[in-house]
Amino acid sequence: MGITPKLTDAERVTLAMMQAMLGFTSEAKWLCHARSHLQRLFPYLPKPPRCNKRLRRAAGLLCQITRLLATDTSVWSGDV
């Protein structure tokens, strides 16, 4: 057993998906936005270096979620 993380992998993936969907290319700007608008949903938001390290480890989960979201929308089968 180790130290219990303050933010679960599911929360990290959710934040990463929201960042991508809302078009934030800068992680610093995204975290600033999240702190001012999502603080009640995510009481703890990590600093960028820590966020990146764990998010890279959750890359497989992120790919699965991206595929699930894509196949559940009209973008997947539309003429886009």
Q: What is the pLDDT of residues 9-63, one digit of tens each?
A: 788 888 888 888 899 988 888 889 999 999 899 888 877 666 677 777 778 888 8
Whether the model clears a pTM of 0.75, i.e. scores above it, the answer is no
Radius of gyration for the chain, computed over Cα atoms and rounded to the nearest angstrom: 14
pLDDT at 50: 61
pLDDT at 9: 78
Residue ranges of alpha helices (H) inside the chain are 9-21, 27-37, 48-57, 59-71, 74-77
